[in-house]
Each structure stands twice: as C-alpha cells, then as structure tokens.
C-alpha cells in the first residue's frame, strides 16, 4: 500500500512537471510577441519595446525564465498578470469558488438525475421505459453544451422568466441554469453507467440467492445490489468532477459567470502569459490531485488492485 | 410485440421533442464573438449634437444595469488606455474642464483658465467647494499629484501619458491652494480640450498615496458617482455621490446624479448581452449585433442609440514602398474598386456610414474636397490597372504582370475586421486583385508590420480633430513608427507639423485640409466606413444622451417608474 502511494504521488509530480514545461514552451513558441500585445499598435518605438522586454525578463534564455517561474510557483507566486498587474494566484483564488460551486452543483444534477434514471432503467430492463431513458441519454450526450444552454435559456429565462440568463454568485436561483447545462450531459453518462453496473450486479448469483430466500425486493435492491453497483460509480465521480471543472469554461462564458474557465479564455485572448500559465497549471494540479485521490480510494475499496 | 411498438413510439416521441426544440425561435448566436481589447485609442470629442431623447424624469433613483462587452484593466484614469475604461471613469472623475457634446469648453474643476501666448503654459483657477469621495478637499495639490502620477514610471503606457509626453510636459506648479499652472515644452493648442478628457481626470492625492500600485482597483475622484466594488469577470458597481454640486453647466439638470446606483455587468458575448436585454436583466446593452438590434427596434422593444465617431474612420493604409502598391495607379484602383455605400449597408445594417476620406465627416477640420476624389467605379479601376500593365492573361480572374500576380498582402487580426473583410476582398477580387488575407493575433500581425511584410493595415482612431493624421502619415513615423504607408512628401509633412503646433485655428484647419488632399491624391489609404458606437436602451431608460466622445452620459439618465 505504502509503495503504491509513493509511486502514485511520484508519477503525479512527473505529470505536473510535464504540464508546466509544455505550457511554458507552447506559449513561447507561437508567433507574436507579448510586448506588442501590451503596447498596442500606436506609436510603439523600438526603445519602448526593448525596455518592456527587459522589464518582463523576456530577454533571458528560456530555461532561465522557466527556472525562475517554477521556483516562484513553488512558493505560491505565479507572477502578475501582464494586463491588470494583479497577482495571478490571487486572481485564480478569486475565481475558484465560483467554478467550484458550478462544478459541485452540476455533479449533484448528474448524480441525482443520472443515478435515479439509471437505477429505474436497470430495474425496468428491456421495457419501453428503459429504451426511452437510454435514447434520452444518447441525445443528452450528443447535444453540445452551448446548444443545451441556449435551449434552457430560451425556455427558462426568455419564455418563462423563471431564472436569470446571466448568472452571478452561488445562490440556487443563480446556479440553476448553468448547473443544468453542465450537469445534464454528465447525467446521461451517469445513467448509462449506473444502469450497466446495476444490471451486472442484478445478475450476480448472490442476488438470485437473496431473491430465492424470499427477501423483499426493496431489501434486495437497496441493501445488496445498489451498494455493490455503486463501487465503479463512486470512482467514476472523481473523474467526472475533474471533467466538470474543465467543462465549466463554456458554461461560464455562456452565462457570463465568474470562474477560472473564463479567466483562461480571456488570458489567451490577451496573450497574458503568466495568467495562462497559472490557470493551466492550477487546473492541471487539481486534475492530477483528483485522479490521484480517486486511484487511492479505489485501492482502498478494492484490495485486489493493491496486490499487483 | 407490445414492447416493440412502445420502443418505436418512444423513439418517435424523442425525435419529435428534439425537432420542436430546434424549430423554436432560438436566438441567433455568434459564439466567442467578442475578443478582449480594442486596439484603438479611446474616442474623443465630437461636433455631434447629443442624441436627445425624452426630457429626464423628475423622479430620481433606481439601479441601472448595463451590459458592457469588455472588462476594464484599470480604473486609474492616468493608467487607462481603452474605451471601456473611459466610459466608467467619466462617472467617477471630473477633469479641469468640461467639454460639451458640441465641443465647446465649460468650467469643470477649474472655474477659469488662461493660456500664455504660445499655448505652452496654462493657468487654472480652481473651484473651492469640491471634495473627493474620500472627503479629501480638492485643492491645487490634487492637480499636481494627478499629473505627476500620469507621467511617473508607475504608469507604463496610457492615453494620458502619451497626451502629456507628446507635448513635452514639464511640470505642474502649485501657485496657491486654488491656482495651478501646467507647463509644456511645446505649444499645445489642443490642451484645453484634452484637459476635459477622462484620461486627465483628477484623483484624490490621499488615495493615490494610500493605494499605491492598487489605485487602479480603488479609484477615488470627485465625480457624480462613487466607486463601490469591482468583482473580477462579473461587475463593477458605482453609486450616486450625494454631495455632487459641480456638474457641467450644459447638463440637463444640476446637483447629484438621478440614478442611485449603476451596475456595469461584464458580458463579453454579444448573444448573452442581447438575451439579458430581452429578459430585462440589463436595461442598456452596448455594441449589440446590428441585425438583432434593428429587429428589436422594429418590434418596438428597444431604442437604438447610435453615434458616429469623429477622427480617423476605418481605413486601410496602403504600403507605398512594396510592390504592387508602390504604383499609384494600383492604389487608386483599389479605392475605386470598393463600393463603400454597399459595404456600410451590408456589413453594418446602415449603422455605419460610408467613408470617402481619411477623416470622418463629424470631425472638426474635415475637408470635403478630399472626400470627393473617389467614388466606386469598377471600370475606371480596371482601366487604371491595365494602364499600368496588369492584365489577366490566363483567365483565372487575377491580373498578372511579368509573371507576377497582382497580390495584396493583408496580415490582420480578424477580430477587428470580421464584419467586413470578406466583403472587401470580394470587391478587390472583382477588379482582378489576389488578396492574401493572413489571419493572426495582434502581436503576430504587428511583427509582420515591423518587418514590412504587408500591403494593407487596418486602422481607425477616434479623436475630436484630425490630429492623429500626424502619427499616421507624417514621414517622421515611417518604417515602423505608425505611418504604415511609408510615404514621403514635403508638403504633407509641413502641413501636419504646422497643424499640431499652430495656435491659429483657421491656419490649422487649412493645414489639415491640405494634408487630407495630399493623402487622398496620392491614394495612401483606402477609406471604408465611419466607426460607430451603439447602445440598445429599454423604454424605461430616459434622458439618454451621448457625451462628446460617444459615451452614454449617465449623469442625466433616469429610469421611469
């Protein structure tokens, strides 16, 4: 167990190192110069450009710039935004709660709707209801997020006037439409997952035994089947959480919500190097952290893996 | 059997549902439409009359929520460069003078002013009854602190800094508590008008010192509204300054602003702004998509406020040192091949007006003669090209000469030109040009310009007067300094240099007229359309008017109950 943990954490660090190198190089390799983006098109003199490059440390070799970046990042200093001159770490921390609230509420949507429908579909396996749920889940998976969001806005904001079309903060009314937009495709995946897992378990011999013993259906389902069926689903939640954090970008843009996804998009438009690096690094770190935790949880739940 | 039927039914139902959803009146969208910053200097004054609507309601109060496309980078007037910042700044800060929408000068924080004979030193007598939002009394030291702050190293590059440095700002001298003299090394005949701009707004010296590098997020001025909060990527909130009694004399009311609070909601997507406007979540939407805006106005749901900006309209500067546009006939043919009327109508739903010269008609110093030189004439364009030996020998629609194609090289960020670039290229192709449009971001495009790899450069520059012509066409700025045509002409240089320093208004006007004529005679730029700012306003919004720079004048706006 300990060995596994050490190995797992070591590979996580390796991944983060890879991400930082990649992000750092890619943004330096694309054509165009950040000083131009800052100074704009008017009356830029060569001296101004040179002075600014010096000030931003852009004249140093790339590996020096990278080394400086990493050593600062390890101390929690991700530099200052080139555009607003605000500390990057502070900007990300300011936007994080909003993205987190969105991802969490989308997860609730995914699990409650997806879990319930998946369970019902499994129990009514092979009936028209099962077919309907599965068809809906295919369309749920196929509809792009921005289109889903538009339809929801059209219905709930423009036609019914129930929820705001621009969202701010983390109250239920503000989160309803964004969470639904982000959560519905995930609910579709969850429904299929729960259904498959549940069907698998329901055909197990111990369930047949439980039924043969004459246990009531309620007990068979909730005590024996559901518990075991949930194991793969629980590990799946971890991966989904990471996916939801990434998927928040489109939803944040659609609803003009605060969040790190939108922060990243703006930073890319602005060629705001430190901001792009910071957001990608932090997002990657969260991704890696969640994945590592998921793996560790899985090992705890399923001792078979530990032995390998 | 029963099962199969139900399956078919449920699938049919599902498809039906989807079709209904698709068939509904889904709002037209343009994903990822708005980029971040405008590569333009912010607009300045106009000779336009304000778009006066109904008389302002006597009742005051309420919160006005506006949807704005772009988040400011700073609310420090001295550090600001971009349009979106000015719109918010004008409510938080006052300047020494107020400039009316007609361009006339009125007292602001200064009661009176006196330039010296050379227009290089200006003495202001200040109002004695003004206090900043942080209760600091307004005195001469505030003017000095603000101007010194603008030229300090803390400000890297800003609109205010270039105004002052371009005219060799020397210093601000505090004569007594309520008298101040601002000195320049150059004659600066336009300073009084510039002194009314937001960029030269006066900050509280206490706040400047207290907030230091964070001042841009904690601005303190004397304006009709006080700064309340700025939530990044979400909104900026300002509230009425109840002590305000130094508003401009040309406003329709005096005393504090009519609104209790104004919320600038940051909505970068045009479709999002439009939806939020439709649902009533915002009462004013900036820069609505032209088609949708016109439709809403026709449906009686909104008014459209449109402002043609003065200064340099949208033009394409033509490189005169690179083939094939080193030939004047080719440059003239380009201008003649483009139908500006149709371009403005098609691309901007007539919200934009066609431009025929390098200065827009609402600008002081606009010269009619220069604007009459070219009108769309495809046949003449073709014959000019033929005269210079450009013929389509292989029938592919593109002209050649000595085996070289008639290629126009246009490195550009499509964010600025997506509304019209295809249309424009269509016109040029019609005349036999091969347009090589190279899509890239601003930084990359700028490098191409510096390397000389371009034929066309897109440009517009909003100012109350034709003064940007010097930056754009004087040969001192050739080869990378902003005069992208790289043209050398002694008459043009003399006229432009004299126009920026001559203190005689009529002489300056004649200089600018001369400059416009030389530029158009030599076909140094292809004029396209005047740049507009537009706002959709809900029926409840009353007293909407533009200030001279084309920003909604929020001080006079009220909301009908």
Bridge partners (DSSP) of residue B236 are B230, B264
- Interchain CB distance below 8 Å, A32 and B73: no
**Cβ-based contacts of B74 with chain A (< 8 Å):** 84-85
Tell me which residues of chain A, numbers 204 to 233, contact chain B at a CB-CB cutoff of 8 Å.
none
pTM: predicted TM-score of the whole model, two decimal places: 0.79
Query: Which ranges in B357-435 belong to alpha helices (H)?
Result: 368-371, 378-387, 414-417, 421-430
Question: Each residue of B138-152: b (16+ CB within 10 Å) or e?
Answer: bbbebbbbbbebbbe
Residues 48-107 of A with CB under 8 A from B: 48, 52, 83-86, 91, 94-95
H/E element holding A56?
helix A46-56
Residue B386, SS3?
Answer: helix
What is the rounded CA–CA span in Å between residue A96 and residue B11? Answer: 41
**How many contacts does A have with B, using Cβ atoms within 8 A?**
162
Verify whether the Cβ–Cβ distance B162 to A43 is below 8 Å. Answer: yes
Burial of A64 (0-12, 13-18, 19+ CB in 10 A): exposed
Which residues is B285 bridged to in the sheet?
B67, B536
Give, in order, the Cα–Cα distances in Å from A184 to each of A98, A143, A194, A243, B10.
19, 10, 15, 13, 20
| Strand, helix or coil for residue B409 | strand
Q: Render pLDDT for B55-77 as a digit per residue (tens, 0 to 9).
A: 444 446 899 999 998 888 889 99
Sign (positive or negative) of CA dihedral A6, A7, A8, A13: positive
- Report helix angle A226-254 to A172-202, nearest 10: 150
* Contact of B269 with B287, CB cutoff 8 Å: no
User: In sequence order, what are the residues at sequence separation of 6 or more whose Cβ sits closer than 8 angstroms to the Cβ of residue B323?
Assistant: B404
Q: Is B74 on the interface with A (CB under 8 A)?
A: yes
B119, B187 Cβ separation under 8 angstroms: yes
Whole-number Å distance between alpha carbons of B33 and B418 = 10
By residue count, chain A amounts to 308
- For residues A154 and A226, the answer to whether their CB atoms sit within 8 Å is no
Residue ranges of chain B whose pLDDT lies below 50: 1-59
Distance, in Å, from the CA atom of A287 to the CA atom of A298, rounded to the nearest integer, reads 16
Distance from CA of A221 to the nearest CA of B (A): 24
- Residue B488 C-alpha, separation from nearest chain A C-alpha, in angstroms: 18
Whether residue B93 contacts residue B246, with contact meaning beta carbons closer than 8 Å, is answered with: no
Asked if residues B203 and B79 have their Cβ atoms less than 8 Å apart, the reply is: no
Q: In chain A, which residues have their Cβ closer than 8 Å to the Cβ of B268?
A: 253, 256, 266
Secondary element (H or E) of residue B521 = helix B505-521
DSSP annotation of A59: T
| Token representation of residue A159 | 């036609």
CA distance B434 to B419: 20
SS3 category, A148: helix
Q: What is the pLDDT along chain A (308 residues), one digit of tens a residue?
A: 678 788 888 888 899 889 888 888 766 776 666 676 666 544 456 677 777 777 777 788 888 888 888 888 888 888 888 777 788 999 999 999 999 899 999 999 998 999 899 989 988 888 999 999 999 888 888 888 888 888 999 999 888 988 888 887 778 888 999 999 999 988 998 899 889 988 888 888 888 888 888 888 888 888 788 777 877 777 778 778 877 887 788 899 889 888 988 888 888 877 777 888 888 888 888 888 888 887 777 777 666 665 44
Q: If DSSP codes are grouped into helix, strand and coil, which group holds residue B546?
A: strand
A88 vs B contacts (CB less than 8 Å): none
C-alpha dist (Å) from residue B455 to A2, B318, B323: 66, 6, 8
What pLDDT, on a 0 to 100 scale, did the predictor assign at position A4?
Answer: 79
Helix (H, G, I), strand (E, B) or coil at B462: strand
User: The dihedral of CA A290, A296, A297, A302: what is its sign?
Assistant: positive
Hey, are the CB atoms on A32 and B447 less than 8 Å from each other? yes
Rg (C-alpha) for chain B, rounded Å, is: 26
The domain segmentation of chain A, as residue ranges, is 2-88, 95-301
Predicted local distance difference test score (pLDDT) of residue A212: 87
Closest CA to B225 of B211, B209, B200, B243: B243
In CATH terms, A95-301 corresponds, of 3.30.56.10, 1.10.600.10, 3.30.465.10, 1.10.3720.10, to 1.10.3720.10
Contact A157 B27 (CB under 8 A): no
Both tokens of A156, joined, read 């709930």
CB atoms within 10 A of CB A222: 11
Q: Does B391 touch chain A (CB under 8 A)?
A: no
Euclidean distance between the first and final Cα of chain B, in Å?
64
**DSSP-derived 3-state class of residue A24:** helix
Helical spans, DSSP H, in A161-225: 172-202, 205-212, 217-219
Burial (CB count within 10 angstroms: exposed 0-12, middle 13-18, buried 19+), residue B397: exposed
Which residues of chain B does A132 touch, with a Cβ-Cβ cutoff of 8 Å? 10, 13-14
**A254·B41 Cβ contact <8 A:** no
B 259-298 residues with CB below 8 A of A?
Answer: 265-269, 272, 275-276, 278-279, 281-282
Q: Is B125 helix (H, G, I), strand (E, B) or coil?
A: strand
Sequence-distant (6+) residues with CB within 8 A of B439 are: B412, B413, B414
Q: How far B6 CA lies from chain A's nearest CA (Å)?
A: 5
Q: What is the pLDDT of residue B75?
A: 93
Q: Strand B235-240 vs strand B261-266: parallel, antiparallel, or unpaired?
A: antiparallel
Burial state string for A140-171 with b = 16 or more CB within 10 A and e = fewer than 16 = beebebbebbbbbbbebbbeeeebbbbbbebe
- Residue A27: what pLDDT? 65
Closest alpha carbon to B485 in B315, B359, B340: B315
Q: Do B269 and A128 touch (CB under 8 A)?
A: no
CB neighbours of residue B468 within 10 Å: 22
User: How many C-beta atoms surround the C-beta of residue A302 within 10 A?
Assistant: 12
Q: Name which of A43, A135, A154 is nearest B11 (Cβ-Cβ).
A: A135
């Amino acid at each position: 167990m300990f060995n596994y943990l050490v190995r797992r954490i070591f590979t996580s660090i390796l991944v983060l190192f890879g991400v930082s190198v990649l992000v750092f190089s890619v943004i330096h390799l694309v054509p165009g110069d950040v000083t131009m983006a800052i100074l704009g098109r008017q009356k830029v003199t060569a001296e101004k450009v040179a002075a600014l490059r010096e000030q931003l440390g852009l004249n140093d070799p790339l590996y020096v710039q990278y080394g400086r970046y990493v050593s600062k990042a390890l101390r929690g200093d991700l530099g200052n935004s080139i555009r607003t001159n605000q500390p990057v770490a502070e900007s990300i921390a300011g936007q994080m709660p909003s993205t987190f609230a969105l991802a969490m509420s989308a997860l609730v949507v995914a699990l409650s709707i997806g879990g319930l429908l998946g369970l019902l579909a499994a129990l009514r396996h092979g009936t028209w209801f099962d077919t309907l749920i599965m068809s809906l889940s295919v369309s749920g998976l196929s509809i792009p997020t921005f289109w889903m969001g538009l339809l929801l806005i059209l219905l709930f904001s423009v036609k019914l006037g129930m929820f705001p079309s621009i969202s701010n903060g983390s109250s239920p009314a503000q989160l309803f439409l964004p969470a639904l937009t982000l959560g519905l495709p995930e609910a579709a995946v969850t429904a299929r997952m729960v259904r498959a897992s549940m069907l698998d378990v329901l055909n197990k011999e111990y369930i047949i035994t439980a039924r043969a013993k004459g246990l009531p259906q309620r007990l068979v389902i909730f005590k024996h089947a559901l518990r075991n069926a949930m194991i793969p689903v629980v590990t799946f939640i971890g991966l989904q959480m990471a996916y939801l954090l990434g998927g928040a970008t489109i939803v944040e843009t659609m609803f003009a919500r605060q969040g790190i996804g939108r922060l990243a998009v703006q930073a890319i438009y602005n060629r705001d190097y430190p901001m792009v690096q910071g957001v990608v690094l932090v997002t990657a770190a969260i991704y890696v952290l969640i994945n590592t935790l998921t793996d560790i949880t899985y090992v705890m739940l399923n001792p078979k893996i530990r032995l390998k | 059997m029963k099962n199969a039927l139900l399956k078919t039914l449920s699938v049919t139902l599902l498809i039906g549902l989807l079709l209904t959803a698709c068939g509904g009146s889904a709002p037209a969208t343009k994903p990822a439409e708005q980029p971040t910053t405008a590569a333009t200097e912010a607009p300045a004054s106009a000779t336009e009359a304000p778009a006066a609507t109904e008389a302002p309601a006597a009742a005051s109060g309420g919160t006005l929520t506006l949807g704005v496309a772009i988040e400011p980078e700073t609310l420090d007037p001295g550090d600001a460069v971009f349009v979106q910042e000015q719109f918010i700044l004008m409510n938080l800060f006052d300047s020494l003078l107020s400039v009316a929408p007609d361009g006339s000068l009125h007292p602001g924080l200064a009661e009176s002013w006196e330039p010296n004979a050379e227009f290089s030193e200006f003495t202001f007598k200040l109002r004695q009854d003004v206090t900043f939002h942080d209760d600091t009394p307004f005195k001469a030291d505030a003017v000095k602190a603000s101007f010194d702050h603008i030229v300090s190293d803390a400000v890297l590059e800003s609109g205010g800094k270039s105004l002052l440095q371009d005219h060799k700002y020397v210093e601000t001298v505090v004569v007594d508590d309520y008298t101040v003299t601002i000195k320049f090394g150059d004659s600066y005949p336009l300073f009084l008008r510039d002194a009314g701009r937001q960029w030269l707004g006066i900050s509280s010296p206490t706040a400047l010192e207290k907030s230091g590098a964070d001042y841009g997020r904690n601005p303190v001025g004397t304006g009709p509204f006080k700064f309340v909060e700025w939530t990044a990527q979400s909104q900026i909130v300002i509230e009425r300054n109840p002590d305000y009694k130094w508003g401009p004399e040309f406003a329709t009311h005096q005393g504090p602003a009519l609104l209790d609070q104004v919320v600038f909601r940051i909505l970068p997507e045009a479709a999002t702004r439009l939806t939020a406007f439709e649902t009533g979540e915002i009462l004013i939407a900036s820069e609505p998509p032209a088609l949708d805006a016109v439709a809403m106005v026709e449906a009686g749901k909104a008014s459209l406020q449109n402002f043609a900006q003065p200064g340099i309209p949208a033009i394409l500067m033509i490189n005169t040192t690179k083939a094939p546009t080193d030939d004047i006939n080719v440059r003239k043919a380009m201008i003649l091949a483009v139908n500006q009327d149709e371009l403005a109508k098609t691309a901007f739903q007539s919200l934009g007006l066609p431009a025929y010269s390098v200065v827009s008609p609402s600008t002081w110093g606009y010269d009619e003669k220069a604007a009459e030189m070219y009108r769309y004439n495809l046949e003449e364009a073709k014959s000019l090209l033929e005269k210079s030996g450009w013929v389509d020998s292989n029938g592919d629609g593109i002209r050649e000469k000595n085996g070289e194609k008639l290629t126009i090289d246009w490195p550009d960020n499509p964010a600025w030109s997506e509304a019209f670039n295809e249309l424009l290229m269509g016109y040029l192709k019609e005349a036999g040009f091969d347009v090589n449009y190279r899509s890239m971001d601003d930084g990359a495009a700028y490098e191409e310009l510096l390397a000389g790899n371009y034929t066309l450069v897109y440009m517009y520059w909003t100012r109350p007067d034709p003064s940007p012509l010097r930056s754009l066409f004087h040969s001192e700025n050739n080869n990378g300094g902003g005069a992208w045509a790289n043209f050398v002409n002694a008459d043009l240089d003399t006229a432009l240099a004299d126009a920026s320093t001559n203190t005689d208004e009529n002489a300056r006007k004649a200089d600018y007229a001369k400059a416009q004529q030389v530029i158009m005679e030599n076909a140094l730029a292809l004029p396209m359309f005047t740049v507009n700012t537009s706002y959709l306003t809900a029926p409840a919004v009353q007293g909407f008017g533009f200030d001279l720079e084309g920003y909604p004048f929020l001080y006079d706006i009220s909301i009908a109950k």
